[in-house]
Amino acid sequence: MKQEQGQISVNTENIFPIIRKWLYSDRDIFLRELVSNAADANSKLRRLDSLGEFTLPEDEQLTITIEYDSDKNELVIEDNGIGMTADEVRKYINQIAFSGVMDFVEKYKDKGTETEGIIGHFGLGFYSAFMVSDKVRIDTLSYQDGAEAASWESEDGMSYTMDTSDRSARGSRITLSLSEEGIEFINAEKLREILDKYCSFMPYPIYFKDIVGDRKKAEQAAKDAEEKAKKAREEAKEKDEDADEAEQKAREEALATPAVQPINDTTPLWLKKPNDCSDDEYKAFYKKAFKDYRDPLFWIHLNLDYPFRLQGILYFPKTDNAYESLEGRIKIYYNQVFVADNIKEIIPEFLFLLKGTIDCPDLPLNVSRSFLQNDAYVNKLSSHIVRKVADKLNQLFKNDREAYEKYWKDIGVFVKYGMMRDDKFNDKVSEIVLFKTVDGKHKTAKELGDTLLYTPDPKQQVAYVNMARKRDLDVIIMDHEIDNHFMSFYEHKQNGKQFKRVDAELGGKEGSSDRLEPMTELFRKATGVEKLEVKVQSLGEDSLPAMIIESEESRRMQEMRKQFENLQGSGDDQPDIDSMFPLQQTLVINEDQRLTSRLLTLSELPGREEQAKTLALHVYDLARLGHGSLTAEDMATFLSRSAELLTELAEAEGKNKA
């Protein structure tokens, strides 16, 4: 073959939409593209073998090798797949955006060939090599009998030189002479990181060789072997044993190395049928893929052939806190090649709590394999995944309620958030939402009734909780930051359901009407709150002397007030927030408590009015403390006043005894 020079032709119709800067948004994907092309070359050859067009030797394994030489600043990607003739190089390399894959499929479509297992579609992956290279060389030999090896070389991706090659093995070898930018970006550790990210589950064994690093390791191993051999010889002499034999044995043992293993798993668990997978296998795969030492809660194995091809495993992980749930990761694969994490077009945001792998060979990827096209198809795929997750939750709820309740701590936030974000998901899981009661039980809204009595803090509101218990009422705990929004959402979606905080009403009998006016006057003077709402009720001798009730409407208004204040910030032109979000609290005086009766009597005694006001203010702050509305500043005053009252009590007791 004579040396040939020329200019690469650019098919502007194909290249125009894809030559923008974001074509390859991440530099490290150049290696994914080149390794994927090598996998394609192997897949084509295997397909020809299955069609009887080629006979692959039984003892030959199709592999991919990556070699990195930091001394030469070279990176090599080599396969033993189908290879190319000089004409094919001209066709597939010299014409940018001409896909060799599609040409291959078209050629053999009459023999049943489809694109299954073949990754590339656009003919652009090879040119990503110029992201990190000053020069790229191809040496390739076709599988065809009598084929002549060919070479291709270019320093800019536009002009090239073609010639014969001395390559004698079938397949292709791509040599990248790294640019200054590439040298700065690439090292052995970085390459391993990229391969682990993108190529962990590619269908052919991938072997990585760090030429310089491996040589240094070998040299060090040889030194260590000689030291061990020397030591073994000396020990053998001391024992009067054969020193030569001991030395040789120690040297051989020290230099013995295990067989080189591929860096990837060619048969990931999602390729197996669900019935063929054990729980231990699911757990082991999860820990390996997501570097999580804990077992997952449960999982969903996706395995579809229609209406689209889809395989994968979605895991529900254990979460230690609310924020960890936002750091989930679902890895998207395309014929076992990693594409990206958390592609929102495929995985709705609320599913990001999950961890998993999804492999869909029919994904309509664009040329960089990192973005999606064809919204209608992707929407169907997304809807199917959401449906499968909802079905799994329903199945678990119906078949193993005990396990479902045990998982609720970890999955509850996810379910609630998902309901608010996705109507279809809400429709499927609304009846299996669980609410944890203060007694540690889990109940559905149907089991709780139309009014769902709740507390945001069962410890702080223990007095209210105990009063509800006396009335045989269930009190649920709604203490997550998402719960305020969820309650409003749930009421809107579930007609007839209403959330009411446990302090909204106490259930006691109305007290004596003749005590209302003097009690109101006393507590208004003591607190300085002129419009303080006061009620007198019979709550029982063992209940607190006073408690505060607040309507659910008022509580939600105060939540809105907090959000409004955060948005408004500070300034001179601030609206009247108090009138916009009025606080509606009522002080309920327990007439069954001896303290309140004596307090009223004390206020009527000449010269004891101030003492009565101090005690009334203390009772009011005690009610606010139990309600959870006592401010930090008022808390300090309350504690100081408590100390003073106890001192006075102790002194009075001392005088009485004297």
Residue 297: helix, strand or coil by DSSP?
coil
DSSP string, 89-149: HHHHTSEET--HHHHHHHHHGGGT--STT----SS-GGGGGGGSEEEEEEEEE-SSTTPPP
CATH number for 509-569+581-657 (one of 1.20.120.790, 3.30.70.3280, 3.40.50.1000, 2.60.40.420): it is 1.20.120.790
- Sorted by sequence, the CB contacts under 8 Å of residue 309 that are 6+ apart come out as 116, 360, 361, 362
Write down the domain spans for the chain.
4-205, 214-255, 269-425, 434-501, 509-569+581-657
Backbone angles phi, psi at 214, to 5 degrees: -65, -35
In CATH, what number does 434-501 get? 3.40.50.11260
Task: Say what the pLDDT of residue 121 is.
Answer: 37
Residue-wise pLDDT tens digits, 175-220: 999 999 899 999 999 999 999 999 999 999 999 999 999 999 988 9
Residue 623: helix, strand or coil by DSSP?
helix
In CATH, what number does 269-425 get? 3.30.230.80
Backbone angles phi, psi at 252, to 5 degrees: -65, -40
Strand ordering across the sheet containing 64-69? 4-7, 159-164, 150-154, 133-141, 171-178, 74-79, 64-69, 206-210
Task: Say what the pLDDT of residue 8 is.
Answer: 61
**Cis preceding-peptide flag for 268 (omega within 30 of 0):** no
Asked if the domains at 4-205 and 434-501 fall in one CATH topology, the answer is no
Which amino acid is present at 270?
Answer: W
Task: Say what the pLDDT of residue 251 is.
Answer: 81
Rounded CA gap, 440 and 420, in Å? 25
Listed as ranges, residues in the chain with pLDDT below 50 are: 12-24, 97-102, 104, 113-123, 322-323, 325-327, 367-369
CATH number for 4-205 (one of 3.30.565.10, 3.10.180.10, 3.90.1660.10, 3.40.390.10): it is 3.30.565.10
Rounded CA gap, 169 and 505, in Å? 85
Is the pTM higher than 0.85? The answer reads: no
Task: Say what the pLDDT of residue 104 is.
Answer: 46
Rounded CA gap, 85 and 126, in Å? 17
